[in-house]
Structure 1
């Protein structure tokens, strides 16, 4: 049994540590995901060749054993050739079976530590540690230890993100919960585009999977009968399709919320924030507060209509989301009531002290006229596209001309809403900017983190006396825009936000 002293992550006379040996057993269990489709396809092929059932079962069992053994051998070789160590200056990893690699990350380059554990690894007490350096290009962007035992992973996290210790005679601040999951928030889960397209996506993925496995659920005769029924009952077919799509999407949205945000809690530790989430696959992201450059309150249209919002961090060093991740790594909260989102944003970064909503300056009416013109232009393009299709292919039904008619009031409404959402302001520490309709975003950006300004003015903006001012920062998406602001006000905001930065480029009259 390992003692607590042996579990501490300290330099050991230059020695290298091994990954967790339990990984072999976990990998063998996870190999079932490969064994099942192989067995299904192999069974169908052999039965089609008139093999007896016992023979097919024997071959499938042998195939399963071979796959599981191959996975175990590969994982054993990977464990034998992988070593890591933590010194006073750097974290190092040596790996590679055929091609040896030596990765080294200086400790002062560590920006984030992400601990994940899927259900299988959780059952074996394992976790994957991903150490981010804040770089988003090349192979050096992340160092992964896959896997470590959970206590070792937690201790490594604490060591890598160790901040300045409290002075002698003072106690470290106790962990404080900033937000915890309220399952009532799941009512916001359907307020996303997933509800409307999720059914079609799931059906397409399921059909493709079954096709790969050799199952053809729909024959040509069935397709012909289905199409005949659709042509005979077009409105009923459309209603049934929409209802089925929304139902599947709704179930998927609820399940996705539960899996992504189950066990959610956001805590403040001394000098850092720690986010826990995940019902089946658990995630633990630790972010140093000195890396924070602001917060963003995001309100997609459907979520905003339902009175909800979510909070994201504007921080340096956050890695990019991977393909299998369903949520932005910068997300600090699930969808929640709007008022609570403002409170969490204030608690995280003090962006809006004592206020439930930021006080922002409205933009000139010329900005509204500009959006109305763009809305009309989009509808004109849509009408022209329908006209071209009708003239060239002569197959566009009469009711297709209703699309531009319906789109016009919708586009105008979104344009007016986008104008109402425009705003900017300056706080004691922050530049505040808000924009968007389909995706409204309010950002409080630390003025000390602004490293440059970009001033853009198109031909039409110049005629309207408007311009767009972009604050450049090393955090988040790299720049945050104050859209279509009056020319004098935009330059004044930039000059006051970071005194002296814009002065050499401003000609005063």
Structure 2
């Protein structure tokens, strides 16, 4: 887009002319077509060499196939560019696209909630960026509009224009958070460290086998199996350690690629997240759409003293079909104390420390004031009744009994002595681990009311501490199972248009839970309360 069009946008609302995606995408498509050409060429080489073709013939056929693949990709991209148009008017962002089936989509500018910029290494080399504009409509299929691709300059100009309606304020030069490479020590503290290497090796083996590359012959496989079964006490732990080492290395590399150049900053009325060492990512969201924050502590990460901060906001785009990243993540894994300070600064409230909640059952009138003024929240969380702990211990014991029954059945059926010995390790390990997780889950339970937020904490495998803006709560769901009813417990769920859609206060006392919901959003639950029978 020329400087003239940029000035026209600043003076008259970007203009009414239809724009095309950047033509540089043809070069990017040509480079990306190698992802299709290389496997096809390798397959042809494997096929033709087994039939004694001359080298010149193999080279000619492979070159012709590569040219056809690249030409086909370029032809498709040319047609896509010619049939795609977009424009920004005074009140709407419109997109026309489609080759066989024409589509016309538009988003009102006042419904734009977030703008996501993403550029993989190939697009970055050509100065291009993919723009995703989100509206936050949870149930709509057309809640996101994708412009693929725009030049980097046009993408930044469009981002600033679409979010121009945010609250004005002074520009803050100091970022909220920047990457510290010492945080990479938290990267291996994930279950994928122990499973990722095996998954990747399995996929690589399947892919190579598809194109005719025999990495593992029958003889080699039989030899490996014999080696494992001959001395399983040594070989099984050795394989597990090797798998974990490879997984830890992969986790560190993935952390570096995903969170390299990480920077979280506050612009006037907006939060902007930028990250990515190879694939550049930029997400901008309006602060007025922020409904709270969440501190997530998966078990391994929590044991290592780490945590992650996530946004609870309307309008966050959805991850693509081939994307596994959490679009709500505001930080990489980082120290728990840093996560707490950052979450408090984003939500303008404090969040609980890892310590246990205080033993009182109901947050008193002073608690909300303390939380609202930024006092320590760890001392303000109300603990849940002892019956909540008993429920968790009971579930852990039932699980151990089921595993013991399964181990007994397996040991009576399999012929291998070493399998019969190892199978009993499951209930033996599950007993102390289950009791510990039950105690951790009970210790994590807590809730409180702040000046602006409902604060709840729950979970053992993944402990989640949520500060939900009370103004964003649209309703309540009260759940009371048969077992909860016997113990005088219930689950209070706050429904909201942001984040997961609902956030639970689990296994709270019946009277305390209803009081909490009633006081969090005055007037919303009162018509459904029978105060004379709440504690009966």
In the other structure, the counterpart of 2:367 is none
The one of 407, 412, 426 equivalent to 2:449 is 426
Residues 293-337 of structure 1: CA deviation (Å, up to 9, x unaligned): 000011111111111111000111112222433421000011111
In the other structure, the counterpart of 1:264 is 262
Shift of 1:354: 3.5
The one of 500, 504, 518 equivalent to 1:477 is 500
> What is the rounded CA distance, in whole Å, between the counterparts of 2:313 and 2:140 in structure 1?
20
Matches within 5 A, 1:441-480: 441-480=464-503
In the other structure, the counterpart of 2:362 is none
> What is the rounded CA distance, in whole Å, between the counterparts of 1:309 and 1:16 in structure 2?
46
In the other structure, the counterpart of 2:402 is 381
In the other structure, the counterpart of 1:212 is 210
Matches within 5 A, 1:218-229: 218-229=216-227
Change (3 A) 1:139 1:459: closer
The one of 172, 186, 189 equivalent to 1:188 is 186
Matches within 5 A, 1:40-79: 40-79=42-81
1:130 maps onto 2:128 in alignment: no
- SS of residue paired to 2:142: helix
The one of 107, 119, 141 equivalent to 2:121 is 119
In the other structure, the counterpart of 1:367 is 388
CA contact (8 A) 1:118 1:282 kept: yes
Change (3 A) 1:15 1:370: same
Equivalenced residue count is 505
Shift of 1:430: 0.6
The one of 62, 74, 83 equivalent to 2:85 is 83
> What is the rounded CA distance, in whole Å, between the counterparts of 2:193 and 2:8 in structure 1?
47
Change (3 A) 1:463 1:205: same
Alpha-carbon RMSD: 1.8
Change (3 A) 1:165 1:248: closer
> What is the rounded CA distance, in whole Å, between the counterparts of 2:492 and 2:436 in structure 1?
26
The one of 133, 137, 141 equivalent to 2:143 is 141
The 10-residue stretch of structure 1 (494-503 or 239-248) with the greater mean CA deviation from structure 2: 239-248
The one of 273, 276, 294 equivalent to 1:275 is 273
In the other structure, the counterpart of 1:499 is 522
Matches within 5 A, 1:274-423: 274-352=272-350, 354-355=374-375, 357-358=377-378, 359-391=380-412, 397-423=420-446
Change (3 A) 1:73 1:7: farther
Shift of 1:381: 1.1
Change (3 A) 1:17 1:441: same
Q: Which runs of no fewer than 5 residues in structure 1 stay unpaired?
A: none
Shift of 1:393: 5.7
In the other structure, the counterpart of 1:106 is 108
Residues 76-108 of structure 1: CA deviation (Å, up to 9, x unaligned): 111111111000110111112222211111112
Change (3 A) 1:86 1:5: closer
CA contact (8 A) 1:7 1:152 kept: no
- SS of residue paired to 1:476: coil
> What is the rounded CA distance, in whole Å, between the counterparts of 1:13 and 1:231 in structure 2?
72
Shift of 1:289: 0.4
In the other structure, the counterpart of 1:29 is 31
CA contact (8 A) 1:112 1:285 kept: yes
CA contact (8 A) 2:392 2:439 kept: yes
Shift of 1:174: 3.5
- SS of residue paired to 1:425: strand
Shift of 1:14: 3.0
- SS of residue paired to 2:96: strand
Change (3 A) 1:254 1:362: same
> What is the rounded CA distance, in whole Å, between the counterparts of 1:394 and 1:351 in structure 2?
60
Shift of 1:401: 2.1
The 10-residue stretch of structure 1 (263-272 or 223-232) with the greater mean CA deviation from structure 2: 223-232
Shift of 1:41: 0.3
Shift of 1:138: 5.2
Residues 246-298 of structure 1: CA deviation (Å, up to 9, x unaligned): 11101110011011101100010011100001110011000100111000011
The 10-residue stretch of structure 1 (248-257 or 389-398) with the greater mean CA deviation from structure 2: 389-398
Shift of 1:40: 0.3
Shift of 1:172: 3.7
The 10-residue stretch of structure 1 (94-103 or 412-421) with the greater mean CA deviation from structure 2: 94-103
TM-score, normalised by the number of residues in structure 2: 0.91
TM-score, normalised by the number of residues in structure 1: 0.95
The 10-residue stretch of structure 1 (63-72 or 351-360) with the greater mean CA deviation from structure 2: 351-360
- SS of residue paired to 1:56: helix
Residues 27-47 of structure 1: CA deviation (Å, up to 9, x unaligned): 001111111101100111111
Change (3 A) 1:188 1:94: same
Residues 197-256 of structure 1: CA deviation (Å, up to 9, x unaligned): 111111111111111111111111222222222222212221221122111101110011
CA contact (8 A) 1:115 1:283 kept: yes
> What is the rounded CA distance, in whole Å, between the counterparts of 1:377 and 1:8 in structure 2?
70
Shift of 1:489: 0.8
